[in-house]
């Protein structure tokens, strides 16, 4: 292509890639918004833009998630930086934010996000509930670095590095929120998730190992009447009901995602 290449010609490349992804990638390369790209489709772009766009489009075609190509993902009300050290926040995980906001009022409470990754859940909650004191932990120092960057300007949030709740004081938390790895090793969906950290996705024992661990730890970390709120896989609700009941949790509530799939569960320690 020449210096005369027009935006609509660039957007016509790789038609098998969803148009919204092509628009977002081009907007990113041009340092403009997606609406700007749509409104300027007759503008010409420079050769450097063309090659930068083409390189990213090829990565996208090869399966790299758009969020990693752009370096961000929008979640709840914010834009979160992401990289290969963090899971890309999913729309269904917004259920955890919505449920957490409904579980506790905006009063001084300690909320713990275990395995915070990019910080999406913890930061969204801290921004929605200024009276809460939000603590977020992750085992991965690289993920925590991303979360800390995302938390810039967010008040009342503290980060810990540690294996689940090990660094947290017992009986000190009113609500634990957690989106642990829960995909069974060998699950066919993993073939599409090869760019994301497997430690954030895969868990042994039919995907239940980490969920079980968090349930046991929550028992020690929660104060009386505290709530545990977990995201889980599409086929794990029954196993979790049993695990929660066997660990003295009650007032169990289940949540479905936008695809009508059971996706989260909460329970109280009373």
Q: Which residues bind ligand GLN (CB under 6 A)?
A: 90, 179-183, 193, 201, 231
Q: By C-beta, is 183 or 252 nearer to ligand GLN?
A: 183
Q: Write down the least CB distance from residue 203 to ligand GLN, Å.
A: 8
Q: Write down the least CB distance from residue 176 to ligand GLN, Å.
A: 15
Q: Write down the least CB distance from residue 32 to ligand GLN, Å.
A: 30
Q: Write down the least CB distance from residue 167 to ligand GLN, Å.
A: 21
Cα separation, 215 vs 219, in Å, equals 6
Which has the closest alpha carbon to 122: 226, 163, 143, 257? 143
Q: By C-beta, is 37 or 217 nearer to ligand GLN?
A: 217
Q: Write down the least CB distance from residue 129 to ligand GLN, Å.
A: 23
Q: Which two tokens stand for residue 105?
A: 């009022």
Q: By C-beta, is 38 or 190 nearer to ligand GLN?
A: 190
Instruction: At 188, give phi and psi (nearest 5°).
Output: -60, -25
Q: By C-beta, is 150 or 179 nearer to ligand GLN?
A: 179
Contact 267, 240 (CB under 8 A): no
Helix (H) or strand (E) holding 48: helix 47-61
Cα separation, 227 vs 207, in Å, equals 22
Burial class (CB in 10 A: 0-12, 13-18, 19+), 122: buried
Q: By C-beta, is 89 or 226 nearer to ligand GLN?
A: 89
């Amino acid at each position: 292509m020449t210096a005369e290449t027009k935006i609509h010609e660039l957007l016509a490349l790789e038609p098998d890639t969803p148009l919204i992804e092509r628009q977002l990638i081009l907007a990113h390369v041009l340092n403009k918004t997606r609406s700007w790209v749509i409104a300027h489709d007759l503008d010409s772009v420079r050769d450097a833009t063309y090659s930068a766009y083409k390189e990213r489009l090829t990565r996208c075609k090869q399966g790299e998630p758009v969020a990693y190509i752009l370096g961000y993902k929008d979640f709840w009300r914010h834009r979160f930086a992401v990289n290969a050290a963090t899971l890309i926040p999913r729309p269904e995980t917004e259920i955890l934010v919505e449920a957490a906001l409904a579980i506790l009022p905006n009063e001084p409470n300690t909320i713990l996000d275990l395995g915070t990754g990019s910080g999406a859940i913890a930061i969204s909650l801290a921004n929605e509930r200024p009276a809460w004191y939000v603590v977020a932990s992750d085992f991965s120092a690289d993920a925590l670095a991303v979360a800390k960057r995302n938390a810039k300007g967010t008040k009342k949030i503290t980060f810990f590095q540690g294996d689940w709740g090990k660094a947290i004081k017992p009986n000190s938390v009113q609500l634990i929120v957690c989106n642990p790895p829960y995909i069974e090793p060998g699950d066919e969906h993993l073939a599409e998730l090869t760019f994301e950290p497997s430690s954030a996705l895969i868990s042994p024992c039919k995907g239940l190992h980490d969920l079980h661990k968090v349930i046991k730890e929550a028992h020690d970390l929660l104060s009386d009447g505290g709530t545990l709120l977990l995201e889980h896989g599409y086929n794990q609700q029954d196993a979790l009901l049993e695990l929660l009941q066997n660990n003295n949790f009650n007032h169990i509530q289940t949540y479905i995602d936008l695809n009508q799939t059971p996706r989260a569960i909460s329970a109280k320690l009373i």
